[in-house]
């Protein structure tokens, strides 16, 4: 019988930074499985470097999300500004 102790050891062993870095992106994207997420959370509790990296990923993701759906108020102000220009400026839909 072949024993595979490393599989169970991997579950118990603390996640290291290299492994955490691989999981962080999946975690932010909501693609990490719950097992990986629990181990990542445990690592982040005592690793400021990885916690900072997670915060950075979230920041980037939030910025990208803002780009895809701009603030409607900002779009309206931009439209008002265009309409105030001589000649009316570009009209919506053009």
C-alpha to C-alpha distance for 46 and 49, rounded to whole angstroms? 9
C-alpha to C-alpha distance for 41 and 22, rounded to whole angstroms? 13
Q: Does 83 bind Zn ion (CB under 5 A)?
A: no
Q: Which residues contact 88 (CB under 8 A, 6 or more apart)?
A: 82
What's the closest the beta carbon of residue 52 comes to Zn ion, in angstroms? 9
Q: Does 40 bind Zn ion (CB under 5 A)?
A: no
What's the closest the beta carbon of residue 51 comes to Zn ion, in angstroms? 8
What's the closest the beta carbon of residue 11 comes to Zn ion, in angstroms? 18
Based on CB atoms, which residue is closest to Zn ion, 32 or 47? 47
Is 47 within 8 Å of 20 (Cβ atoms)? Answer: yes
Q: Does 47 bind Zn ion (CB under 5 A)?
A: yes
Q: Does 24 bind Zn ion (CB under 5 A)?
A: no
- The backbone region for 93, taken as left when phi is positive above 0, alpha when psi lies in -120 to 50, beta otherwise, is left
Residue ranges that bind Zn ion, judged by CB under 5 A: 17, 20, 47, 50
């Amino acid at each position: 019988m072949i024993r595979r102790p490393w599989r169970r050891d991997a579950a118990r062993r603390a996640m290291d930074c290299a492994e955490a870095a691989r999981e962080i992106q999946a975690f932010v994207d909501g693609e990490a499985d719950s097992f990986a997420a629990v181990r990542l959370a445990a690592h982040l509790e005592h690793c400021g470097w990885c916690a900072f990296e997670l915060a950075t990923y979230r920041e980037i993701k939030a910025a990208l999300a803002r780009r895809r759906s701009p603030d409607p108020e900002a779009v309206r102000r931009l439209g008002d500004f265009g309409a105030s220009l001589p000649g009316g400026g570009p009209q919506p839909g053009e």
